[in-house]
Chain A
Amino acid sequence: MINLFFKIFAIFFSFFYFLYAIVLFQQSRVLVRTIKTEIDKWVILISGFQILLGFLLIFYSLIL
């Protein structure tokens, strides 16, 4: 029973983190569009990387 609850919560939180990462990526694009700096590419890269992390979290939570 604990395993089932844990898996449900893991999928739930992973999915919401994935959505949050997508929003963060979109907002990062707004940021670099508003103020163009030397680190624009890094901002987009790291924000995009979080979408990948979210996806990996979902995948791992599914195989728990």
Chain B
Amino acid sequence: MSSLKGFLLRPKIRVQFQQENEEIIFLVRAHPITQIFWIINGFLILIVVFITLNVFSPYLNAKQILFVYLFTLIFIFSYWWVSFLTWFFNVGLFTNQRVIDIDFHYLTYKEVTSARLDKIEDVTVKSGGFFPSIFNYGNVFVQTAGTEVNIEFINIPQPEKVKEIINQLLPRNK
């Protein structure tokens, strides 16, 4: 279950486009606490359907009521599953060669952004607010040189530590 964390050193994973001598140093994903909302949403949907079904139950027979409950439970399960997959597979990877940001939008649209470590110019941490302060999460922006894309990691745990590790990974002559 350690692979369910938002910050993993030397994770036991491999990415599709990983090069032969490329080693993943650490992985980040959104802090698990930021995922609480879809869990709560699922329970709210269940409560709303339960209340609605109680109102309309005089007009439906037992099989129909059972179908509505089954469909709701399956729908909520699917909603939770998609939300979990979206969180789990949207990751930021730091290797010994580059920074990689993998995003899956609505699971169907894949976006992979990478920048070589020697192209990184600046790393900025932004963190503020009640929950980010308590649970120690924030945003890390990686600015790269010239026309290279900038990369940002949103709501990741221990952003200051992430910045520190990135600075350690950067080439010494920077």
Contact = CB atoms under 8 A, between A and B. Distances in A.
Contacts of A21: 78
A31 B71 contact: no
Nearest to A10: B67
Contacts of A6: 60, 64
A39 B16 contact: no
Given A35-B15, A36-B14, A64 B81 contact: no
A11 to B, nearest CB: 10
Interface residues on A, range: 20 to 34
Interface in A5-26: 6, 10, 13-14, 17, 20-21, 23-24
A20 B79 CA distance: 11
Nearest to A21: B78
Given A21-B78, A64-B64, A36 B70 contact: no
A18 B91 CA distance: 29
Contacts of B82: 24
Contacts of B172: none
A23 B78 CA distance: 12
A47 B81 contact: yes
Nearest to A32: B89
A10 B88 CA distance: 32
Which of A37, A47, A54 has most B Cβ within 10 Å?
Answer: A37
A31 B82 CA distance: 12
Nearest to B107: A27
B75 A24 contact: no
Contacts of B61: 3
A39 B91 CA distance: 15
A38 B14 contact: no
20 contacts: A2-B59, A17-B71, A17-B78, A21-B78, A23-B108, A24-B82, A31-B104, A34-B16, A34-B89, A34-B102, A34-B110, A35-B89, A36-B13, A36-B16, A37-B12, A37-B88, A38-B3, A38-B12, A50-B74, A50-B81
Task: List the 3 closest A-B pairs by CB distance, nearest first.
Answer: A36-B14, A27-B107, A31-B89
